[in-house]
Amino acid sequence: MTKNTFLLFVACLLLSGCAFPSPYTQYDIGADYEVLQSSTNGTQILPKMDAFNASQLIPPVVTEVAWNDSYILAKQLELQPDPLNPDAQTPNQQNARYWIIDLKYNKRFGPYTKKQFEAQKKEFRISSSLQLQKVEKLAQK
**pLDDT per residue as tens digits for the range 116-130:** 999 999 999 999 999
Judge whether residue 72 has pLDDT over 60: yes
Share of the chain above pLDDT 70, in %: 72
Mean pLDDT of the chain: 78
Q: Give me the phi and psi of 134, to 5 degrees please.
A: -60, 140
> Rounded CA gap, 8 and 6, in Å?
5
Report angle CA 30, 34, 39 to the nearest 5 degrees. Answer: 155
Higher pLDDT, 66 or 16: 66
Rounded Cα distance between 107 and 29, Å, is 16
Q: What's the confidence (pLDDT) of residue 90?
A: 82
Residue 117: count of CB within 10 angstroms of its CB: 22
- Please, what is the Cα angle at 98 between 71 and 122, to 5 degrees? 55
* For range 93-102, the mean pLDDT: 93
Q: Look at the pTM and tell me if it is higher than 0.85.
A: no
pLDDT digits 0-9 by tens, 10-58? 444 444 444 444 456 777 887 788 887 776 667 777 787 754 555 678 8
* pLDDT of res. 54: 59
Residue 110, pLDDT above cutoff 90: yes
